[in-house]
Chain A
């Protein structure tokens, strides 16, 4: 069984503003990126379960230009709120390091690209 860390060159997480968490899973080359993307292991349902949020609010965004998959979701706890243990969201990628990637896609089709466009209308952000 292959883990995500074995295939990725970098997995990182960070706030995208205090109310949102974003995870970047970056690969060294297009081939590995395509392999993981096509495998469907990175899908909204799976990430939603890990972070305790609704799957509808998780966006999985393939980004070929940087051989990366981005995952953006509401922060389980708002940055700096009582109970938050990670102000910048910097260590929240940890459960993904050992994520098993070579497994069939989630039930209900190819989860890897779901919500990349469908959820754009429901999640409005504004950058810094």
Chain B
């Protein structure tokens, strides 16, 4: 009889939720492995830089509790990747704490493998000097100073650390930053299924039911991986997959639909075929994998830019909107000189003051093809400074200046800005930027990673 491995992805991102009923249906289909992605660079550099969570701890606990109970009940491995948000050690620790809390609450006993993905800085410095770190397309410049000033740097794990954890007897693996597809490719590749199919199935599963014809909310996806194909089907009866909907998923947030570069090689889907098995299940075959000579791990880093406070306000008067550019120029100069007056030129050096103009070009910026103002324009005044105290103080001044800045056509004091919030300034805390778009080529595939085993 042909062998088969059944993979279940309950949701697209730990904390995004799923219907319990769908999980129950999926468990009746007897999965061999359950996996879940728990992070991304998608929400921007804040989560990697700060180590804060993307979804709330409560939302993550809700999903993890259902998953752990189901996976331990069926005695199948549960693999969690990119925990939680950026994959930093701080975020990983939160996911591990949640697993420990849930295990204690329900009296679950299992071996937990924890894979950390923050290589020590001296290891990264050495790798850089040894030429083991290479730039990817559009990468910013990298030197030791960048490594130094980045708040957090993570290496993206492939299947190798998952294999190491499973080989050490882990029932549940929680990994820091990792390839989304690796979470689901880990067991099939370990058991010798064709890597092209294993990785391609992983790429489709990592977003759970995103590959259905009409996704309304996050919900599970199920896959049967065999030696000559894999089949995907959503357990939710309201969802269905079609050949086009599944093929379309290789497009999603991916530079090319034909090649997915993963740590241990490249998946090619240019010869993949997508055929209906039923009106809701699709069979995929023909995906190939070219193993890389050496494993490479993508590096991601984020550095602190400063501290920010913003003011949101809107202009409705057509007379002001007509001359918005020059009016804003005056507002900006006045705020700058007020800030210097309060804190001194030195303290506000490096402070940036920008104004986004929604209703004109807030979304596209200088690329906006039709920058003609709407009948009302929303202004977001952003102050980024060396401390939150300065940012807040300048934002307070900015709200006042902009609210009452003169318009040449009018004599007498006016209020030019509709401010929806009291107080008008909103402290935003630290802001970060991405610093790395590079790959590390470690001497051994496990070098950048740490593995800890916890028996619960």
Q: Write the residues of chain A forming the contact surface with B, with a CB cutoff of 8 angstroms.
A: 14-20, 22, 24, 26, 50-52, 59, 61, 63, 65-68, 70, 72, 74-83, 85-88, 91-92, 94-95, 120, 122-128
Alpha-carbon gap, A75 to B384, bound state (A): 23
B137 and A82: CB pair below 8 A? no
Residue on B with the closest CB to A86? B363
Find out whether the CB atom of A61 lies under 8 angstroms from the CB atom of B46.
no
Contacts of B352 in A (CB 8 A): 82
Write the chain A residue with the least CB distance to B45.
A80
Assuming the A-B contacts A65-B272, A66-B251, A68-B248, are A80 and B137 also in contact, with contact meaning beta carbons closer than 8 angstroms in the complex? no
Nearest neighbor of A76 in chain B, beta-carbon distance: B367
Interface residue count on the B side (C-beta < 8 Å): 58
Of A81, A82, A123, A127, the residue contacting B260 (CB under 8 A) is A127
21 example contacts (A-B, Cβ-Cβ < 8 A) are as follows: A15-B253, A16-B253, A18-B434, A19-B137, A24-B251, A52-B366, A65-B257, A72-B255, A76-B365, A76-B367, A77-B365, A79-B41, A82-B431, A83-B354, A85-B364, A88-B44, A91-B363, A95-B369, A123-B255, A124-B137, A127-B261
Asked if B223 lies at the interface with its beta carbon under 8 angstroms from chain A, I say: no
Rounded to whole angstroms, the CA-CA distance of A70 and B255 in the bound complex is 8
| Chain B positions near chain A (C-beta within 8 angstroms) | 40-46, 82, 136-140, 156, 179-181, 203, 243-244, 247-248, 250-263, 272, 274, 296, 298, 305, 352, 354, 356, 362-367, 369, 384, 431-434, 437, 439
Partner of A50, one of B140, B250, B253, B369: B369
Using A51-B367, A63-B251, A66-B251 as known contacts, say yes or no to A82 and B257 having CB atoms under 8 A apart. Answer: no
Known pairs A94-B364, A126-B136; A22 contacts B255 (CB<8 A): yes
Interfacial chain B residues near A124, Cβ < 8 Å: 136-137, 261
In the complex the two chains form, is A14's CB within 8 Å of B365's CB?
no
Main secondary structure of the interface of A (DSSP, over half): loop
List, in ascending order, chain A residues with CB within 8 A of B46's CB: 80
Closest 5 CB pairs of A and B: A80-B44, A65-B247, A66-B248, A87-B44, A19-B138
Q: Are A127 and B356 in contact (CB under 8 A)?
A: no
Which residues on the A side are within 8 Å of B44 (C-beta)? 18, 79-80, 87-88
Of the listed residues A15, A61, A80, the one surrounded by the most CB atoms of chain B closer than 10 A to its CB is A80
Q: How far is the CB of A89 from chain B (nearest CB, A)?
A: 9
Q: How far is the CB of B82 from chain A (nearest CB, A)?
A: 8
Chain B residues whose CB sits within 8 angstroms of the CB of A72 once the complex forms:
255-256
Separation of A14 and B255 alpha carbons in the complex (Å) = 10
* Least CB separation from B305: chain A residue: A82
- CB neighbours (8 Å) of A74 from chain B are 137-138
A22 touches B253 (CB 8 A): yes
Check A126/B354 contact, CB under 8 A, given A79-B44, A95-B364.
Answer: no
Cα–Cα, bound, A126→B46 (Å): 21
In whole angstroms, what is the CA distance A82 to B431 when docked? 9
Does A26 lie within 8 Å of B253, measured CB to CB?
Answer: no
Which residues of chain A have C-beta atoms less than 8 A from B45's C-beta?
Answer: 18, 79-80
- Which of A19, A52, A77 has the largest number of chain B CB atoms within 10 A? A19
How far, in angstroms, from A51 to B369 measured CA to CA in the complex?
A: 10
